[in-house]
Amino acid sequence: MSEENTFLIIADLQSHSLGGHFGIWLNRTLFEALKHFNTIFVYVADEISMPDLSKLADVDQRRVEIHLIPNFYLKKRFFGDVLGMISRHHATLSAETLGAPIFLMWAQQFIERDLIFPPIKSWLPWKKPTSFSSTWATMTSLSSVNHDRSSAPNMEYRIHDMIEKEGNCVGALLWDEYAVQGLGKKYCYLPNVEPCEADQEWHFPESDPITLGSVGQLWGGRSVNFMTEILGTEKNFKGYLGGVLKPDSYTDRAKSLLQKKEIIKVEEGFVEKDEELNDRLRRLDAFVIDSRTYKCPSGLAIRAMAMGRPIVAVDSPSWIANQIKEHGVGVFWNEREANLESNLREWSNSGGSDRSIAAAKKLNDNEGMKRAFEDIFKRLKEATAA
């Protein structure tokens, strides 16, 4: 790092309702940013999103200054240029930080919801033009952009168009390597590093039911509705859910099946430690994710892969479906065929666990993560200096 006094603003727009995966990424980003900038100003969406500076023992914590976005956002009722808004807030603190570049975390939150609170219920954020006045880069998810446009979320194309057209945007970090390769020079691949080790002792039960399920924040569209579709059709399976239930997002079929304790075991509640989360994952024989409705990269799916577990998904445009096709980390389910058990056992007999562990190791690339951050922070520095 040079002797000059350099500043970076990190705007973390993800409201961390329970911390977890998103909170880990804020700490990682801070740690890497402090290698390249003297002073970091952090803006977070809520108190729960506060970075845990005690985990950054190797850096001088006096170089980090933290602000809550709502403190001035709600006061000004400003809807639009969040980067310009933060810059103006900085101008009231110190004129020399006005020109600081901004690293915008979880841009999809802003595009989809206009930062935190929509002005009115009928307002449609993707119809509102957005422009940014500060040099910036972003960490986001665009896993479907390289697929058929008709099947990808409109939000992802909105973000991609913004990144491509916005002159003040110098780059974006993405988790999907194949998407990065096809999108253009602004994009940089960020390996999705997850703390998990292989489980060499695991194997499919020979005669007992195979356990399907998911852990974490248990949204219907992410896993629960899909899992109950399978359990309502296939034989010799049982379900396990460990995490925070989201009952308003469940289908009537899912709600009904969740009441049958002999079919689905539910261990409700949030766990803070990675070790506890991994212990819940180890109770699964296969990790279920609905790739029709959840198209983004999944840290929990990577953890399951690292344990040698197969992913059960649907053949549809998505990050996880691409992993299954390219690396053989799981199987696709088709309700009409109803042959999931035989497909899973064939996957196992063909070395599926080894393939999954190898794919997870490639994704869990700490050195690649450091290079990605170094690249994006270098771009921010050069663009600001220019």
Contacts of residue 7, defined as CB under 8 A and 6 or more positions apart, other chains included, come to 37, 38, 39, 40, 41, 96, 97, 100, 101
Question: What is the token pair recorded at 312?
Answer: 């059960």
CA distance 168 to 94: 22
The answer to whether 97 and 90 have CB atoms below 8 angstroms apart is: yes
Is there a contact between 50 and 44 (Cβ–Cβ < 8 Å)? yes
List of domains in the chain: 7-193+365-385 (3.40.50), 210-363 (3.40.50.2000)
The confidence score (pLDDT) of residue 85 equals 65
Burial class (CB in 10 A: 0-12, 13-18, 19+), 54: exposed
Q: Give one word for 284, left, alpha or beta, with left for phi > 0 and alpha for psi -120 to 50.
A: beta
Q: With contact defined as beta carbons under 8 Å apart, do 151 and 117 qualify?
A: no
- Per-residue b/e over 283-314, b at no fewer than 16 CB within 10 Å? ebbbbbbbbbbbbbbbbbbbbbbbbbbbbbbb
pLDDT in tens, the chain (386 residues): 445 668 888 888 766 655 556 677 888 899 899 999 988 988 887 777 777 777 776 777 788 888 877 555 544 444 455 666 666 666 666 555 556 788 988 766 555 544 434 444 444 444 455 566 778 899 887 766 766 555 556 667 777 888 888 888 899 998 878 778 888 889 999 988 877 888 888 999 988 999 999 998 898 999 999 999 999 999 899 999 999 899 999 999 999 989 988 899 999 988 777 788 889 999 999 999 998 888 777 888 999 999 999 999 999 878 889 899 999 999 999 988 889 999 999 999 999 999 999 999 888 888 999 999 999 999 999 888 77
Q: Whole-angstrom Cα distance, residue 191 to residue 315?
A: 23
Q: What is the pTM of this model?
A: 0.77
Pair 264, 258: CB distance under 8 Å: yes
Round to whole Å and give the CA distance between 160 and 149.
12
Q: Provide the pLDDT for residue 197.
A: 82
CA dihedral sign of residues 294, 149, 154, 132: positive
